[in-house]
Chains A and B, each alone.
Chain A
Amino acid sequence: KNEVEQSPQNLTAQEGEFITINCSYSVGISALHWLQQHPGGGIVSLFMLSSGKKKHGRLIATINIQEKHSSLHITASHPRDSAVYICAEPYGGSQGNLIFGKGTKLSVKP
């Protein structure tokens, strides 16, 4: 069964803390996606990665293909990082359809 599991489901941090969100997936086809859903509901793509590590500002995504595991790290967290973070993987077919995790809700307190 194709599954994407995220942990933790909810995370509360103090401003400045280092954050780690985990994603385990089952199929392992092509690139894994990390998305951010703002409190207002809008969704933006953060990363696509199929190997190694990617960095964008204070966000770092890593992936271990052998273990089918990816992590999203946030350094020096800020209240504006408060959002739901979602990982998703392609599950087959040329269309690139995705299966999504349920998301990790992050709240960063000032």
Chain B
Amino acid sequence: NAGVTQTPKFRILKIGQSMTLQCTQDMNHNYMYWYRQDPGMGLKLIYYSVGAGITDKGEVPNGYNVSRSTTEDFPLRLELAAPSQTSVYFCATTTVSSYNSPLHFGNGTRLTVT
């Protein structure tokens, strides 16, 4: 089992470009989360999904979009990249919610917007 796979590992974008961060899991988990981690700060929730077809905003959703067409995939879309989106992005999953089950993280995507 691969667990949670994120691609790409690194990416440099120019201001105004768009890209999709991919997240795939093979654990059949319902709950999936996208976080960003800025230097010296705690992880912040961008978007989450409690199952295929269901997504909702987290604490810092502006500038991002998500979709969840399958249980396995939860891509994060940046439409018009801005320097403020320079960060490390983590995808995570749990079985029934982080109230009751541990999080499984991908290895992260380091994004730089210049």
Contact check, B31 vs A41: say whether CB atoms are below 8 A apart: no
Chain A hits for B74, CB < 8 A: none
List the A residue with the shortest CB-CB distance to B104. A45
Chain A hits for B79, CB < 8 A: none
CA distance A22 to B41 in the complex (A): 17
Chain A hits for B92, CB < 8 A: 43
Chain B hits for A100, CB < 8 A: 42-44
Number of interface residues of B (CB under 8 A): 28
Contact check, B90 vs A97: say whether CB atoms are below 8 A apart: no
Number of interface residues of A (CB under 8 A): 25
List the A residue with the shortest CB-CB distance to B105. A43
CA distance A86 to B43 in the complex (A): 9
Q: Which of A6-33 contact B (CB under 8 A)?
A: 29-31, 33
List the B residue with the shortest CB-CB distance to A47. B102
CA distance A101 to B97 in the complex (A): 19
List the A residue with the shortest CB-CB distance to B58. A97
Is A42 an interface position by the 8 A CB rule? Answer: yes
A48-B102 contact, Cβ under 8 Å, with A41-B108, A42-B108, A95-B97:
yes
Contact check, A97 vs B48: say whether CB atoms are below 8 A apart: yes
Chain A hits for B107, CB < 8 A: 41-42
Is B94 an interface position by the 8 A CB rule? Answer: yes
Contact check, A90 vs B108: say whether CB atoms are below 8 A apart: no
Contact check, B100 vs A95: say whether CB atoms are below 8 A apart: no
A residues apposed to B, CB below 8 Å: 4, 29-31, 33, 35, 41-45, 48, 86, 88, 90, 94-103
Give 8 nearest A-B pairs by CB, closest first.
A96-B97, A100-B42, A45-B102, A96-B98, A30-B99, A96-B99, A43-B105, A100-B43
Name 11 extra pairs, CB < 8 A, besides A35-B103, A48-B101: A31-B99, A45-B102, A45-B104, A90-B99, A95-B31, A95-B50, A95-B97, A96-B99, A100-B42, A100-B44, A102-B42
